[in-house]
Every structure is written in structure tokens, then in C-alpha cells.
Amino acid sequence: MTYLVNDPKQFAADSLTGMVAANEDYLTEVHGGVTRATDSPQGEVAVIVGGGSGHYPAFAGWVGPGMAHGAVCGNIFASPSASQVESVVRASDHGGGAVLLFGNYAGDRLQFGAAQSPLGADGIDTRIVTISDDIASDTPQNWKDRRGIAGDLFVVKAACAAAAAGRDLDAVEAAANKANEATRSMGVAFTGCTLPGADEPLFTVPEGEYALGLGIHGEPGISSHKMDTAEGIATLLVERVLAEEPARTAGGYDGHVAVLVNGLGATKYEELFVLYGTVKKLLTEHGLTIVHPIVGEQVTSLDMAGVSLSLMYLDPDLEELWLAPGDSPAYKTGSVTAGQRREVVAHDEKVAIRAGSPESAAQAEELLPLLQALADMSSANEASLGKLDSIAGDGDHGQGMVLGSTAALKAAKQAVAAHAGTSTLFDVAGAAWSEGAGGTSGALWGAALRELGTMLSDDQAATEDRLGRAAIARPGDKTMVDATAPFADELTARLDAGDDLATAWAAAARAATKGAESTADMVARKGRARTHGTASLGHQDPGAVSFALLMSGLADRLANS
């Protein structure tokens, strides 16, 4: 477990601040993460890495000359928000555009993707490359749909070296894609990890066994195996990774490989060296030449005991990029001359608060208790939602809902104090929810509240019917939409029948609860739970459950208002 904690919900922020204080020659803290403390050549492509916290050295530990230009740092195991991505990109931009690199997870795709449009509108051409090296998470035919784990290092290093060599945006993007296509990883876990402030791990591994194919966000492995020697585990990992070795060709892959034996947080260097001894023996016997091997912690999962093996199958260009010099707090190779220390310009990402008409401002104040109800319900159910999420996911859903809803409530109170109308009320609340929670749920809840704001007006109060017609969803896989769709359908039907808002909402909340209950009979086909097959059977989807709970809380508040 994590012992050195102040406020568990501030752990990621406190850790980042302390890390920057310890590495001021490399890093400057900005909203949402870090940027290089030293200057880069004008016109150089900026490589921005990122994702959730809890993985140090990934991602902030890879920022520095010859390495990344900035890192966006979300909450523990949760993607950063779109505004945080924007902030770090703007602080790291040198006029050459930006390549954004992150593991292939739904929340990261949503949040980094949402940042592309405003950045592009301001003239910063931004490309996205999702890293998908984990062979346990999908088939060889669907390798682009796999998740990113420790192979992140290889892809980041290739892109950063290409940028440092002066390649243009297209070429840096191409180098990242080539490295991703050439990288394969597989990991094992001996224990689960524990979120800061929690008193038990997200999952457990039975005594005398290890889990194969784990994720780096506290997801359990895809299969369990009887505990083996280091030699036996190394043999299994090498066999699995070499199963996807590409054909050797003239001028292409020639049997040279970059190798990373990566500790996941609680498996330390002496053990990793024992494993690497067998890895090297097996790869050499296979006729491979190892180029600049790395043994140590590069992509961790808090205090998880475990190890992963990553290979990048090198062609001459990838080998040159892998060996190019780089200097960052956690990864160093060769010799790099740093630029001059620079002054970083802060970018204000706050949503402007516009005063509404007296009628709309009065209604905004009347609606504030509804946001209070969302925060209250999230806090009351934090533990149960986290436990439900940990069955086949990463266990952070409850914490994310609390962080998002309380941030939204705080922003809404400030908006009401500034006499904002209803449109602005939900716009600032939505932006704050996305910012505070990050991750998939943060993106979805934030977008929903902001969309609600566009349907209302700062110039006049809305009717009950207008307030009620805001939720539209379509049925889908085992996600929160299985609760939002029946909620929207029932709410629309009740309003069409002439029910008042409180009555219609209560009926819709019951429909959402029934929809959430139905997800227990579904196999997840999206999100992190997808890789665990039938593991989620018999358990409701946490996103659907949280939606139903919050809608029920709002129904109670409406009935009493």
C-alpha cells in the first residue's frame, strides 16, 4: 500500500509538485502537467506524452532534452482532461506542431482528442499516435486496438529522437507509428496494487500463483498460472513476445532488438536482473542481437509486484532513433547539451463566467442543489463504485465520480455567486467535472453538462419541459449508455404524456436503474474490462450504476424541492 500520503485525492498533484521541486533543471510545472525547463529550437516538433499518474517514471520522468517536451498528468490511473492537454501543449509548443503519445485507452482517446480542435484553431497542428504494444489485450490481427503498457518507452524515445533530429511533423508522427508497430510487450503480476488511501488492493493474486497479461491500471491478468522460477517466467514471456516477431528482410528488420525488462513498482532491480539473465540467453539463442537493453522501472503501477518484457524489432532507422542521446530525470542515454532556461507562459483555461438575466440567474441558483445532490450521491457511493470497477477494470471510478462532481459543484457555486445564468452554470460545471475527474467518465459527464448548457439560455428562465429534454442516448455495449438510454426514453415519454418534471424524472431514474441492473448479464466489449472476457459477468457496469444512482438522487431532490 501507499504509506506517504496527505490527502489521497491530492496524491497525484502532491507527487507531481514534489517531483518538479526535485528536478528543477529539467521541469517546469504548468496547469495539467510539466514542460521542459530549458528551451528548444524554434520550429522543432513538440512531443507530448501523458496519461494517468501512478506510473512513474512514465510520463513526467521522460521530459527533457532529446526526450519529451511535455507530459500531461491525470489523476491516479485516469486520463488528464482536455484542458490539461491543451495547457501542456501550448506551454511546450515551438512552432513545429505537436505529436501526442499515450496508451490506447478510451479516456485518453476522448480527452486528448477533444484538445485537438482548439489547438488546431490556434494554429498548432496536432497529431495523435496511440500506443498499443500489449499482446495480451487483443489478437495479432487487431494489434492497433491493444492497450499501451511498458512499450510506451520505445515509442516515446523514437518520436523524441526524430524531433530532436529536426524531422518535420509528418516524419515524427511516422517514426512514432513505426516504433509502435514494431513493439510488443507482455507482463505478469504477483500482487495487485493499492490506490492511495485505500486499505486493500484492487485485485489479489492467489498464494502460489501469478497473473499473466495484467494491465498497468490495476486491471487483473487474463489468466492465472502456478508460480514458477524466474527462468520459467522469462521463458514464457519471451515465447509470447517472439510469437509475433516480424520476418527479417534486407534493409528492414535484421534481428536487432531493443529490450526492456520493466519492474511494475514493487519488484526491484536484483530480481529484474535475475530475469534478464534468462531473457538475454533465450534471445541470443534465437539469433537476436540486443541493442542497449534497459532493466529497471520505466512504466509502473503504484506498488504492484510484477514485471513486463518489451521488445522493439529494429530496422536501421529505429535503431538510430533508439540509440540517439536523451536526458530526462528517469531516462538518460548519450550526451545532450541542454538549451537555456526559459520562461514558461501560463495559459488560462478557465471558462468565462457571463452574468445572466435576473430570471435566468435566479433559476441557476434554484438548480444549484441538483449539482449538490450529484456530489452527495457520488461521495456516498465512492467505495462501492470503486470496488465494482475493480472487478475487471482499474478501480478508480468511485474516486473519479467524487472528484468530478465536487469540482463541478465548486465551479457552479462560483458561477451562481457571479450571477450566471443557467446556460453558463452548466457550461462551467461541465468543464470543471471533466477537469476534476479526467478519464472516460469525466469526459462523458463533462460533455453532458456542457451540452445541457447549450440547450438553456442566460437570457431567460427555462420551463420544466425544456429542462427535462436534455438526455439523449443510444443502447450499446456494457457501458453507462445502458442506463442513459432507458433513462432518456422514459423521460421523453413521460414529458410527452404531460407529467411534471419531478414525476417524469423519478420514472426515468427507475428505468435507468433497471438498465444498469441488466448489465450484469453482459460481457464487456468496450473499455478496460473488454480484455477480461467473462470476468464482469454477474456484476453491473460501474458507469451505468453510477449514472442510475445519481439520477435517483436527483429524483429525490426534485421531489422535495
| Structure-block grid coordinates of residue 378 | 457520488
Cis-peptide into 57, omega within 30 deg:
yes
Rounded CA Rg of the chain: 24
Measured CA angle at 319 (ends 43, 331), to 5 deg: 70
- Rounded Cα distance, 107 and 80, in Å: 8
Q: What CA–CA distance (Å, rounded) separates 488 from 548?
A: 12
Judging by DSSP bridges, how do beta strands 289-290 and 209-212 pair with one another?
unpaired
Torsion sign over Cα 133, 139, 53, 169: positive
| Type of residue found at 128 | I
**Cell matching residue 376:** 452527495
CB under 8 A, 24+ apart: contacts of 494-497 = 495/465, 495/468, 495/469
Q: What residues contact residue 141 under an 8 Å CB cut-off, 6+ apart?
A: none
Question: Cell triple for residue 144?
Answer: 492497433
Strands 306-314 vs 294-296: parallel, antiparallel or unpaired: unpaired
* Cis status, amide bond into 59, omega within 30 of 0: yes
Do the Cβ atoms of 31 and 349 come closer than 8 Å?
A: yes
DSSP 35-99: EESB---TTPPEEEEEEEESSTTTTGGGBSTTSBSEEEEEEETSPPPHHHHHHHHHHH--SS-EE
Question: How far apart (Å, rounded) are the C-alpha atoms in residues 315 and 331?
Answer: 22
Angle at 90 between CA 454 and CA 396, to 5 degrees: 65
Catalytic hit among 31, 55, 69, 217: 217
Burial of residue 406, with CB atoms counted within 10 A of its CB: 0-12 exposed, 13-18 middle, 19 or more buried: buried
Q: Is 397 a catalytic residue?
A: no
Question: Three cell numbers at 532?
Answer: 477480461
Enumerate the active-site residues.
217
